[in-house]
Amino acid sequence: MKVISYNLRKNRAATEIAALAEDHELDVLCLQEAEAVALPAHVGHMSLVHATERNRLGLAVYVRSERFHARASRTFELKKSLHDRVLSPAHERLLGVRLLDRELERDFVVASFHAAPLTALNSLRRHQIHAALEGLRDLGPGLPALMVGDYNYPVFKGRLDTEMRSNGYELNLSDKRTYTRYRMFRGHFDFATSSGLDISSVRTLDRGMSDHLPILVEATLRQHAEALPVAA
């Protein structure tokens, strides 16, 4: 399964998504900073499952419709940063989709995530990440899950990795940096969190019109994935 995550930089890179889907024979495309009203219903072989509507610039998920059936989708509000409250409100920072893989006859959850901006503390972003994963557990109790997106987490990833592993998830960075616009903030901003999947690679793709570089995740559902504990 091939999944791309791409922050479109205020929708500026929206014209690139069709080529990304075709060139990489995508199964899932997860977007951040997308303008929902401007997104096409179909991009090549992919169909738009859902896009957030309460944010001017929000999240969207496309899937390969002949292979996957969307059983349910849900948007989630996460704890707001000061930036969200004062400057550019972002009500929905997680879009989760429960999919049926028709080839394998198995369900799993995929999600597009956009953490609070760099003006917030890492502690707030960790809170958002934990809350996001709990939301995905509710959407697909015990199912394999893959959450990709813009984590805005350039430093001190060791602590985040430890916390993710203690909660049954794996943190996967790409092979190259995904954000290089500002010298002091260069690093891996976009990555993947997964459970019940084997991640064979996470690759940073070529720069486009966005200040983020897209990442390509190649993943396989484990044959006997251990179910995650369901939140009480």
Residue 164 CA, distance from chain mean position: 15
CA distances from 16 to 58, 65, 211 (A): 17, 20, 13
From CA 64, how far away is CA 114, in angstroms rounded?
22
Report the pLDDT value the prediction gives residue 230, as an integer from 0 to 100: 46
From CA 79, how far away is CA 132, in angstroms rounded?
10
Q: Which domain holds residue 201?
A: 2-221
Residue 52 lies in a domain: yes
Residue 98 · residue 109 · CB < 8 Å: yes
Q: Which residues pair with 96 in a beta bridge?
A: 74, 111
Residue 231 lies in a domain: no
CATH number at residue 100: 3.60.10.10
Report the pLDDT value the prediction gives residue 160, as an integer from 0 to 100: 86
From CA 5, how far away is CA 146, in angstroms rounded?
11
Report the pLDDT value the prediction gives residue 136, as an integer from 0 to 100: 96
Residue 85 lies in a domain: yes
Residue 227 lies in a domain: no
Residue 56 lies in a domain: yes
Residue 228 dihedral angles phi and psi, to the nearest 5°: -75, 150
Report the pLDDT value the prediction gives residue 84, as an integer from 0 to 100: 62
Residue 138 lies in a domain: yes
Report the pLDDT value the prediction gives residue 232, as an integer from 0 to 100: 36
Is the alpha carbon torsion for 75, 40, 83, 149 positive or negative? positive
Residue 230 lies in a domain: no
Tally of domains in the chain? 1
The tens-digit pLDDT sequence of the chain (232 residues) is 999 999 999 999 999 999 999 999 999 999 999 998 889 999 999 999 999 988 778 999 999 999 999 999 999 988 776 656 555 556 789 999 999 999 999 999 999 999 988 777 888 889 999 999 999 999 999 999 999 999 988 767 788 888 888 889 999 999 998 987 655 566 788 999 999 999 999 999 999 999 999 999 999 999 865 545 444 3
What per-residue string of b and e applies to 69-98 under the rule 16 or more CB within 10 Å gives b?
A: ebeebbbbebebbeebeeeeebebbbbbbb
Residue 228 lies in a domain: no
Residues in the chain, overall count: 232
Report the pLDDT value the prediction gives residue 86, as an integer from 0 to 100: 52
